[in-house]
Structure 1
Amino acid sequence: MMNENQFSDEFHSLNELIQQYENLRDGRAHAFLDEDSFEQIIDYYDDQDQLQYAIQAAEYGIEQFPYCSLLLLKKANLLIETRHYQDALGILERVEALDPMDINLHVLKADVYLGMNQHEKAIKLLETQALRFEGEDRTDLLLELADVYDDCEEFDKVFDCLKRVLEHEPGNEEALHKICFWTEFTGRAEESIRLHKAIIDEHPYTELAWFNLGTAYQGLKLYEKAIDAYQYAIAVNDKFEYAYRNMADAYMRIRKYPEAIETLQRHLEIARPEDVIYEALGHCYEKQKKYDQARYYFRKAYHLNPDDERLYYRIASTFMQEENWPAAVKYLQTAHKINVLSLEYVLALCECFIQQEQYKDALTHLLEGVRLHPASVRVRSCLVRCLFLAGFYEEGEVQLDRARKATGDKPVYQYYHCALLLASGRTKEGLLQLDLALSAAPRQVKKLITLYPAALQHKGVIDLIARHKHNR
């Protein structure tokens, strides 16, 4: 590691170099500057975003050393950065005459073609040169080619390029990182499995290959196999954060919540706390009906990300499952305040108010929900349900009529209309609505029974349900 004295010496040395170059530029006495010195000077101005000074320094260097391909490439790169593509191409042709096997020449030439929107030329150049070069140079050209295909939105060819890199150099970390994403994006999980199995057979301690194998299995919903692959990745590197994340997700997918919790806890031991990890822990405890522990982790999550209204909603959901409606309302109101457009929060709030028979509060929120989401069948049917439970049968029919005009007739409306009619003593009309509803969606009859259990006391209702069941 560089100590402070070394850094200070290099800083002073660079300052002296810049001063010598400025003396040269201004026609004053100066020390001799070699090719390496010009390279450092160009890089200095480039790092300072003083591109015109960097180009000028490159030109001075090329005057001194006209056959130095490195300085020519530096100037070409700067010309590309400043979008002087034709000038850059002219410089690169000079380099090609000097050193046609310099890989940087071909990479920069491809960049010029891309800058000029000549993607086919860039692809042809890189494909041709990738066949001419070996070793790391071929790898670099194929990775550059993958980026060009990405730019052209030829995504399967991106995957193909990365596959070629790994067949050529199985341990290339850049390709291993990238192909994980492109496997999922292109849906080529089976091909990825074959590729990474071949890599692992030859190089069994390649942690990224094990990880990619796991993600490919996970993409095919083969969660047990994915978990096995992640465990091998962790055996190679027990601080592999993303392997723990994905493995926990796989455990959750197959409802192995204790194993998921253990994996997430291990992740917390090796990495900085994150809201998504705490939320996942809360989810696991919630699924096990351990609501206190679930809330503990959801709270830890929102302390890290207080603007994520979903976390307040998730805490509210645990209270709702415990039928602790007042506590649920408190958190739902916070979620709703952060995101007033969420229909989910409105419906949950209304359910809490309905369960407490606070119909006025429920109706206030539902009417606002209808205003914001006029095409939502859920909010309109919930409004009718609330009016029914509050005993406002006539207003319920008015809102049903509006709902049908806004969203079309739905079986749920027919069942709710039946309940309104039966409850207000209009049995014949109610049975007519029930007949229509049973014809359209017989399995939804529970919507009527849940809303109005007393409907089962009507012989006509029982007979009608039985007749439709017999006909089916």
Structure 2
Amino acid sequence: MELRPNDNNNLPLTRFESMLKTNHVLFFDSEEFENIIHHYLNQGKIALAKKAIKLGLSQHPTSTNLKLFKVEIYVFENNLDKADALINELYVIEPQNEEIYIQKANILSKRDNHEMAIKVLKQSLNLTEDVVDIYSLIGMEYLFLDKFEEAKNYFMKCLEADLQDYSALHNMIYCFEFLGQHDEAISYLNTFLDNNPYCEVAWHQLGKQYFELKDYNKALAAFDFAIISDDTFIGAYLEKGKVLEKLKRYQDAIETYSITLQLDDPTSFALLRMGTCYEKLKNVDLAVQYYKKTVQEDPLLDKGWIAITKFYIKKRNYKKSLYYINKAINIDSENVLYWKLYAQINERLSFLEEAERGYKKALELGNYELNTWLTRGDILLKIGEHEAAVYNFLQAAEFYPENAEIEFRLAGLYYTMHETEKGSYHLKNGLRFNPEYALIIEELFPNVYSKNQVKTILKAKL
């Protein structure tokens, strides 16, 4: 909302902030207070907004709009009881004020009473000529209830009233996608584009729907139309690049991604994709160059570090890949993907203690994949840490009960540690769960396999 100048050609905001620095209280009309409060709320300066509301109400105690700002602050601070009490007072005074209904619905929504919020918002439709905002709010409440069909219909109403309401367009497409209605979304967007043929957002969304259906030629055409409608639309270039990659037109994809670098600051996504395309084209030097640019542009982008690490793994340059994954871990030591790569690289380099450390860290960070448990346990076995290996597999068994691969490993370990009763128990479990994995005993525990007791159990069950 634009602030209008006062009689002295000074902005009310400037006068207000000047007044705060002195003990002189200046007079502002209620509309000036509204503009000042609106400005502070938009800037996220809640303390200043509250000061303006307090002073405004001291000068204009009957102003409904200023009290509505007070309600808004109460809601923001989650003081819903006070907000509700004040909004009910205002309703008694001005039962036809649409903003009162909107704030009442906001309070109900905050209390997760979305059905009642929708009911109140629908009542407000009879009080306003500007229904688009209300339709949007109703649509959002239906989204909170996971009622995507109803939400979609209200976002459609927004677009019927305003073809430029791109927020409603995005929300509506989200509903289509959640419902898996890609064909219906395409049909709607084509109809929408008949009435608004130069809407780059609609073309962009249409391309994404075709991409989802793997109709890459139609997706490419849609993104081209988005670019024709707005040749600075970076998102359309990025999506077009992805389509060209799917069509294995890697050089064209590189050229498309490179346009985004000219339009704005480089994005790590574009740099990463260019590196991938160069790798596909066997241009090793440029692939590495762009992977390095990716991690320089955004050191927190794990896909960049993973790409350059895997690049060197494919080249079997494990020392180089270890160098880059160590750099990644130094930046983000809580990334489980980094630790798994760290473990795999060290394992290939036969640095078993470091490999075990990597798998252990991956488990600590919540990577409970069966292969992580098995690989870590097998490494502990190789380095002679039998008790730690047993503990590892017992933990794994909690996540994967009745798993033969785990049971046979436990059997072999217990026999190795001369705990034959436990070894026999787990060996029989393994045979019961899946006897095909009995070869684990022979491969990982040859000394155990040669024991007469073990052979007897195996023969009896196989």
Question: TM-score normalized by structure 2?
Answer: 0.68
Task: Tell me the alpha carbon deviations over residues 324-381 of structure 1, each in whole angstroms, 9 at most, x when there is no partner.
Answer: 233222223323444556665555456555655xx3x234423652576396543465
Distance 2:117 2:35 in 1: 26
RMSD, aligned α-carbons: 4.6
Q: Are the structure 2 counterparts of residues 142 and 304 from structure 1 closer, same or farther at C-alpha, using a change threshold of 3 Å?
A: same
The 5-angstrom pairing of residues 318-397 of structure 1 reads: 318-339=311-332, 345=338, 348-349=341-342, 352=345, 359=350, 361-366=351-356, 369-370=359-360, 373=363, 377-379=370-372, 382=375
Report the CA distance between 1:323 and its aligned residue.
Answer: 2.4
Distance 2:51 2:296 in 1: 48
Q: Percent identity?
A: 19
Q: Residue 152 of structure 2 aligns to which amino acid in structure 1?
A: F
| Aligned counterpart for 1:292 among listed residues 278, 285, 289 | 285
The 5-angstrom pairing of residues 183-262 of structure 1 reads: 183-262=176-255
Q: Residue 366 of structure 1 aligns to which amino acid in structure 2?
A: E
Distance 1:52 1:14 in 2: 13
Q: Are the structure 2 counterparts of residues 341 and 440 from structure 1 closer, same or farther at C-alpha, using a change threshold of 3 Å?
A: farther
> What is aligned with 1:270?
263
Mapped contact 2:30–2:56 kept (Cα < 8 A): yes
| Aligned counterpart for 2:73 among listed residues 71, 81, 84 | 81
> What is aligned with 1:281?
274
Mapped contact 1:77–1:108 kept (Cα < 8 A): no
| Aligned counterpart for 1:38 among listed residues 19, 30, 33 | 30
Mapped contact 2:6–2:12 kept (Cα < 8 A): no
Report the CA distance between 1:252 and its aligned residue.
Answer: 3.0
Mapped contact 1:85–1:112 kept (Cα < 8 A): yes
Distance 2:357 2:183 in 1: 50
Q: Secondary structure at the match of 2:154?
A: helix
Mapped contact 2:343–2:356 kept (Cα < 8 A): yes
Residue 305 in 1 paired to residue 298 in 2? Answer: yes
Distance 2:292 2:7 in 1: 48
Q: Secondary structure at the match of 1:130?
A: helix
| Aligned counterpart for 1:111 among listed residues 100, 106, 114 | 106
Distance 1:7 1:289 in 2: 67
Report the CA distance between 1:138 and its aligned residue.
Answer: 1.8
| Aligned counterpart for 1:127 among listed residues 88, 106, 122 | 122
Report the CA distance between 1:240 and its aligned residue.
Answer: 0.8
Distance 2:377 2:293 in 1: 38
Q: Secondary structure at the match of 2:228?
A: helix
> What is aligned with 1:462?
none
Q: Residue 294 of structure 2 aligns to which amino acid in structure 1?
A: A
Report the CA distance between 1:279 and its aligned residue.
Answer: 1.5
Distance 1:407 1:17 in 2: 65
Q: Residue 270 of structure 2 aligns to which amino acid in structure 1?
A: I
Q: Secondary structure at the match of 1:187?
A: coil
Distance 2:175 2:237 in 1: 21
Mapped contact 1:92–1:109 kept (Cα < 8 A): no
Report the CA distance between 1:229 and its aligned residue.
Answer: 1.3
- Unaligned runs of 5+ residues in structure 1 are 64-70, 419-435, 453-472
Q: Secondary structure at the match of 1:84?
A: helix
Distance 1:398 1:251 in 2: 53
Task: Tell me the alpha carbon deviations over residues 15-39 of structure 1, each in whole angstroms, 9 at most, x when there is no partner.
Answer: 668999xxxx97x9x8xx7xxx321
> What is aligned with 1:164?
157
Mapped contact 1:384–1:396 kept (Cα < 8 A): no
Distance 1:339 1:173 in 2: 36
Q: Residue 54 of structure 1 aligns to which amino acid in structure 2?
A: I
Report the CA distance between 1:236 and its aligned residue.
Answer: 0.5
Report the CA distance between 1:399 and its aligned residue.
Answer: 9.4
Mapped contact 2:98–2:127 kept (Cα < 8 A): no
- Unaligned runs of 5+ residues in structure 2 are 41-47, 75-81, 398-402, 413-430, 445-462
Question: TM-score normalized by structure 1?
Answer: 0.67
Distance 2:12 2:180 in 1: 53
Q: Residue 44 of structure 1 aligns to which amino acid in structure 2?
A: I
Mapped contact 1:46–1:54 kept (Cα < 8 A): no
Mapped contact 2:380–2:389 kept (Cα < 8 A): no
Q: Residue 289 of structure 1 aligns to which amino acid in structure 2?
A: K
Distance 1:242 1:362 in 2: 45
Mapped contact 1:319–1:325 kept (Cα < 8 A): yes
> What is aligned with 1:465?
none
Distance 2:306 2:347 in 1: 18
Task: Tell me the alpha carbon deviations over residues 233-256 of structure 1, each in whole angstroms, 9 at most, x when there is no partner.
Answer: 111101111112222223334443
Report the CA distance between 1:118 and its aligned residue.
Answer: 4.9
Distance 2:338 2:311 in 1: 14
Q: Which has the larger radius of gyration?
A: 1
Q: Residue 231 of structure 2 aligns to which amino acid in structure 1?
A: D
The 5-angstrom pairing of residues 435-446 of structure 1 reads: none
> What is aligned with 1:90?
89
Distance 1:341 1:395 in 2: 28
Q: Are the structure 2 counterparts of residues 338 and 414 from structure 1 closer, same or farther at C-alpha, using a change threshold of 3 Å?
A: farther
Mapped contact 1:346–1:365 kept (Cα < 8 A): no
Q: Are the structure 2 counterparts of residues 376 and 144 from structure 1 closer, same or farther at C-alpha, using a change threshold of 3 Å?
A: closer
Q: Are the structure 2 counterparts of residues 80 and 218 from structure 1 closer, same or farther at C-alpha, using a change threshold of 3 Å?
A: same
Q: Secondary structure at the match of 1:158?
A: helix
Mapped contact 1:76–1:89 kept (Cα < 8 A): no
